Structure 1
Amino acid sequence: MTRRQTLGSALALGAAAVAQPAFAAGMFPVVETAQGKLRGLHSGGVAIFRGVSYAADTSGANRFMPPQPVEPWAGVREALHWTEIAPQIPGDRRHVYADLIMVDRNPSGMGEDNLSLNVWSPGLDPNAKKPVIVVLHGGGFYSGSGNSVGMDGEQMARFSDCVVIAINHRLGAFGFLHLAEFGGDDFATSGTVGMQDIVAALAWIRENVAAFGGDPDRVLVYGQSGGGAKTSVLMAMPGGKGLFHRTGVMSGSALRMMPPEMASATAKRLMDALEVAPSDVRKLQEVPWTVLLETQAKLEAADRARGEAPRSFAPVVDGIALPRHPWDPDAPNVSADVPMIVSSVLDERSYRMGDFSMDEAGLLEFARERVGERASEAVAAYREEAPDTPPFLLAARLDSDLTFRKGAFAQAELKAKQEGAPVWTYLWTQPSPAADGRFGAVHGIDVAPSLYNTRGALNGSSAQANEFAAAIASSWAAFAADGNPNNEHVPDWKPYSPPERATLIFDADLRVENDPRAAFRRFWKP
């Protein structure tokens, strides 16, 4: 039996589970972890455990501190409900795109007891050793959750025959407030605790996933947008070594993180707003979380009112938990042996385009603001590539090439140059049918199908949408299984390496191209 046939058989078995749900362990199965017993729920043959704490409450003296272990418990603890999500500023659903991506549709409240994960498993045999897929949610480093509608892993567990896990972790000032300059050694790594949470979750998975039918030696970590950025950072953290074995970065290639001096200035600004003196850092642990979050929101709103980008919070290069910039000047050596997938989509930035009635003059002006004297040359190149595309979508495409795709290209090049484990790349070009196709192949269009969620708002529900979902979900399943994404649903997909730069193209003509859109890669190369 070939490798592709093996995967196909596994997928068929996953589909069969839908028709004949297996309730051998009862509707409410109990699993014993190293910390205590958990009671979950069977749904259509998939065992679901929600709100599983992998670390302690982060309030009070634990705020801004590395994650602390969960105290073991006696008896059986319920894992039927979502926990709180990390404190965050709600998204603005007055915009069509925000309402489509559902990043903030969280079925739970906020609070500081949020270090939890959700598990979906197709079977609870502790000897099954099924591949494990860990999903890091999007929303930058400031919003989103593993409880959100978009992170639901039930369909993927059923389709792929993998254990799927979504993680909650600290965000914004709660996860990335760099206080080392003011609090000394006690707060030396406060600017990375949100990422340390992810490492702690992976350590919990390594210790416990076998009880849920998973293989602790076959763990894939991947995410889109902010989830991709977190994956990029994780690959440079010594604490994560050995806890994951393949990674995926979807539209979130993060090359550099926050330098300490900039992070200290942001922390001082927040402390001033809260009237906390630098010598009284521990008073920040006594501030109600609602006040801390509101203060963060007010400072960011003030920046926007002045026409400035908000001085937000992100992982800090603290020299300890994160010793260096993740992908600058080169690929991190600590994860050289980890195979990787790097991706982007064609029209990432269309979600930021406020003027959908833009004309050709507006396109040229947009290009001038971005690239100055090269504007006319750039517009001519984009218009030649896509003669019938609306100006606002070409503007978004230009901006996408300068941001998301430039980062993805650089990351893939660095990983390939390292000559360690291989890297594969894909480019999603199939447009979203949502909002009459206005957004093109927009940021986030590949998220729902990557988890085999076939009724996502950006993708619609159609035979073609199901085919795309099967292709991308089976690629992630194959990658989780053995570190190679090739499978029966996609053409032969070679690793990315110059000069060929093989890239899987997700559109109506699913294919592999060498160095797609090479002219733009060269045009925008630093």
Structure 2
Amino acid sequence: MTEFPVSRRDFMRNAALTAGATMAAAPFAQAAVTPGLVAATQHGKVRGFIDQDIYGFKGIPYGDDTAKFRFAAPRPPQPWTGVRDALAFGPRAPQPGTAQSSASSGAQAGPISEDCLYLNVWTPGLRDNARRAVMVYIHGGGYNALSANDALYDGVRLCKRGDVVVVTLNHRLNLFGYLYLAELGGPAFADSGNTGQLDLILALQWVRDNIAEFGGDPDRVLIFGESGGGAKNACLMGMPSAMGLFQRAASSSGEAVTASRPETATRRAEQVLRALGLPRERIAEIRTLPMEKLVAATGAAGYYGPVVDGRSVPRHPFDPDAPSFSAHIPFMVGTNRDEARLLIGRSAPQMFDLTWETLPANMAKYAEKMGSLDQGEVIAMYRRNHPDFSASDVFFAATTDSRDWRPALVEIERRAALPAGAAPTYSYELHWGSPVNPKWKAHHALDLPLLMDNVTLSPRVTGTGPQAYQMAEIMSETYIAFAKTGNPDNPKIPHWPAYDLKRRATMAFDLPPQVIDDPRSEPRRMFSQVPYENPGT
């Protein structure tokens, strides 16, 4: 750690900022009386803090307490008088357990509450008319869990590196955000299947209306996110009511080709009602049940996600094609080359010790996205293309390509098939592998501390060697360039052509980064024979 003493100091400071209101307020006692740290929003004034010459504001309400309108569209926050402290994260959305991000720097901060519509802002300047690009990060955890209350999402380093404004936010999750009750409860529950997405739209409306006060440009907004956050962003690309609220979009290791059909989502809602002991004729009572009882019932449905409700989500986000109404938005889509090494290997470590004899039976357990393909032929294809692969290497390549890379490719290729004049789509893969646990290679979530430029906050994932910092510089500079211009080109990478169906140019983030045409061409052709649907459709 002596190699990076300043970064270690920064890590300790940022960790303290996530410890809660009591811990956060103490370091900023002086800042609390500094007039220059007060910003005016449309709903009231907020007092922030300074961290490494960057202004920070945590826990700004962008919506009212959702307990007041459970399973309904969100509403703006109640105005307040005086100056409200914005020194600590707001509550997390209701969720079971104590899950944390695969790249987390620690436990998620803050209590859980239905009063969870809060966002955080980091900026180099207030009211300076600088019109900086705005980077709105939407957190992962599927549609079920986690929050923005993690030191890993700290925006200081992106602000300092790129002179940008960074926003992170919390929103409703699991059954609170995606339980489709419209078919069972009627018009009063018309928006229930997509309230989590509607929360995101309300947050983006807050950015549009308030970000100039924080030195940002409401006409240069990037939404970006990893894992579940990437999927939420892909879904926003298929929501007409989100148009005009962001001008670039990026999805990392999370896709939304299809949303749930109403009939499928209704069956899941029936499972939840049974778990609650609530007959259909008493469905209205679900709005007044204790939050804890609903949290306990979240596991009954098994899956939550956006629903094609004919209202906010009028169609599948990327099926049967890419939506024309978002064709004007530049889109950057990426995956990690070895996603499944963590997604599967973390809970099934025996998959790292497969033999050629045990491979077929074990791969069959995870072959739901391989359809009716002959798995012997799938194995033979990987062995032919990668004669150095072990049986475990083949397993993780096949499961990554069919389950994680394939849906990203569907989005990319359907965007590339849009008529001439559509905004460009950029495809990338992370190839650089973590030195902390080499067998995981370029695993799921490894890109998160790199694109956020927060390697110091995630040493157990990336390590703190010079290569990790170099990769963070490359990836964060690329995201910053994309936020500013809608084009990811920057001095840290070679020229990155937009994806087309002839060349299929793809950026491989590695040391050094390079553009590869049609990577994984044989897996692409093989798995394209299988119709694709998201889980839970």
* TM score, norm. by length of structure 1: 0.89
Task: State the distance in 2 between where 1:466 and 1:215 align.
Answer: 29
Secondary structure (helix, strand or coil) at the match of 1:52 reads strand
2: distance between equivalents of 1:466 and 1:383?
A: 34
The equivalent position to 1:360 in structure 2, one of 319, 334, 356, is: 356
**CA distance in 1: counterparts of 2:385 and 2:502, whole angstroms:** 22
Match of residue 440 from structure 2: 439
Determine helix, strand or coil for the equivalent of 1:217: strand
In 2: Cα distance, 1:274 partner to 1:52 partner: 33
1:43 pairs with 2:51: yes
- 1:34 has 2:25 as partner: no
Query: Could you tell me whether the CA contact under 8 Å between 2:99 and 2:145 is conserved in 1?
Result: no
Distance 2:94 2:202 in 1: 19
What is the distance in 2 between the residues matched to 1:231 and 1:118?
A: 18
Shift of 1:373: 6.3
- Which of 450, 459, 462 matches 2:462? 459
1:78 maps to what in 2? 85
TM-superposed deviation, 1:171:
0.2
Q: Does 1:507 align with 2:510?
A: yes
2:166 is paired with a residue of what secondary structure?
A: strand
Distance 1:57 1:104, change over 3 A: farther
C-alpha contact 2:99 2:146 (8 A) present in aligned 1: no
> What's the offset of the Cα at 1:364?
2.9
Amino acid at match of 2:208: R
CA distance in 1 between partners of 2:446 and 2:383 (Å): 23
Equivalent residues in 2 for 1:452-491, closer than 5 Å: 452-455=453-456, 456=458, 457-491=460-494
Identical pairs, percent: 36
- Partner Cα distance (2:455, 2:276) in 1: 46
Structure 2 CA distance for partners of 1:373 and 1:472, relative to 1, 3 Å: closer
Contact 2:103-2:448 within 8 A present in 1 as well: no
**Change in 2 beyond 3 A, CA 1:103/1:261:** farther
Give the whole-Å Cα distance in 1 for the aligned partners of 2:518 and 2:251: 19
Task: Work out the CA distance in 2 between the residues paired with 1:80 and 1:235.
Answer: 32
- Which one is further off, 260-269 or 496-505? 260-269
Decide whether aligned partners of structure 1 residues 230 and 291 sit closer, same or farther in structure 2, where only a CA change above 3 A counts. same
Unaligned runs of 5+ in 1: 1-22, 301-309
Query: Which residue of 112, 115, 120 maps to 1:118?
Result: 120
Q: Is the 8 A contact 1:28 1:42 kept in 2?
A: no
Tell me, in whole angstroms, the C-alpha distance in 2 between the residues paired with 1:472 and 1:101: 16
How far apart are the structure 2 equivalents of 1:225 and 1:187? 28
Residue 26 of structure 1, CA deviation: 4.6
Aligned residues: 485
Structure 2 residue 408 is matched with structure 1 residue 408 = yes
Change (3 A) 1:202 1:440: same
> Which residue number corresponds to residue 63 of structure 2?
55
2-side partners of 1:379 and 1:108: how far apart?
46
Per-residue deviation at 1:366? 3.0
* Equivalent position of 1:347 in the other structure: 338
Q: Decide whether aligned partners of structure 1 residues 182 and 124 sit closer, same or farther in structure 2, where only a CA change above 3 A counts.
A: same
Residue 275 (structure 1) aligns with: 277
**Matches of 1:206 and 1:103, distance apart in 2:** 30
C-alpha separation in 2, matches of 1:90 and 1:398: 31
**Alpha-carbon spacing, 1:28–1:434, altered in 2? closer, same or farther (3 Å):** farther
CA contact (8 A) 1:104 1:145 kept: no
Shift of 1:395: 0.9
Deviations 1:289-339 (A, max 9, x none): 111111223x26xxxxxxxxx3x2111110001101110001112211100
Q: How does 1:215-226 map to 2 (within 5 A)?
A: 215-226=217-228
Instruction: Indicate which of 233, 236, 239 corresponds to 2:238.
Output: 236
> For residues 508 and 384 of structure 1, what CA distance do their matches in structure 2 show?
26
Higher alpha-carbon deviation: 376-385 or 73-82: 376-385
* Whole-angstrom CA distance in 1 between matches of 2:205 and 2:105: 26
Residue 381 (1) aligns with residue 377 (2)? no
Note the C-alpha offset of 1:517. 1.8
User: What amino acid does structure 2 have at the position aligned with 1:504?
Assistant: M
3-state DSSP of counterpart to 2:468: helix
Over 3 Å counting, the alpha-carbon distance change for 1:113 and 1:339 in structure 2 is same
The residue type paired with residue 441 of structure 1 is A
CA contact (8 A) 1:367 1:378 kept: no
3-state SS, counterpart of residue 413 of structure 1: helix
1:175–1:373 Cα change, 3 Å: closer
Instruction: Specify the code of the residue in structure 2 equivalent to 1:293.
Output: V
Distance change >3 Å, CA 393–CA 117, structure 1 → 2 = farther
* CA deviation after TM superposition for structure 1 residue 280, in Å: 2.2
1:369-411 C-alpha deviation (Å, 9 max, x unpaired): 5256632332233234444444323312111110211111111
- Counterpart residue type for residue 58 of structure 1: T
Give the equivalent residue in structure 2 for 1:398. Answer: 398
Q: CA deviation at 1:519?
A: 1.8
Partner of 1:8: none
Unaligned residue ranges in structure 2 (runs of 5+):
1-30, 530-537
Cα distance in 1 for partners of 2:292, 2:176 equals 11
Residues 398-443 of structure 1 show CA distances to partners (whole Å, capped at 9, x for unaligned) of 11110211111111111111131110110111112223x1211111
Q: Distance in 1 between matches of 2:188 and 2:324?
A: 28
Q: Give distance in 1, aligned partners of 2:483 and 2:210.
A: 18
Counterparts of 2:276 and 2:36, CA distance in 1:
46
Measure how far apart 1:277 and its partner are.
2.3
Q: Which amino acid aligns with 2:339?
A: E
Q: 2:185 aligns with which of 171, 183, 206?
A: 183
Q: Flag the 1:368–1:58 CA change in 2: closer, same or farther, 3 A.
A: closer
Q: Give the 3-state SS of the residue equivalent to 2:470 in structure 1.
A: helix
Is contact 1:103–1:138 with CA below 8 Å preserved after alignment?
no
SS across alignment from 2:161: helix
Q: Which amino acid aligns with 1:413?
A: E
- Asked whether the 8 Å contact 1:28–1:41 carries over to 2, the reply is no
Distance 1:377 1:429 in 2: 25
* Higher mean C-alpha displacement, 25-34 vs 113-122: 25-34
- Structure 1 residues 404 and 278, CA, compared in 2 at 3 Å: closer, same or farther? same
Query: Superposed, which structure 2 residues align to 1:168-179 within 5 Å?
Result: 168-179=170-181
Equivalents in 1 of 2:87, 2:99: separation in Å? 29
CA shift for structure 1 position 191: 0.5
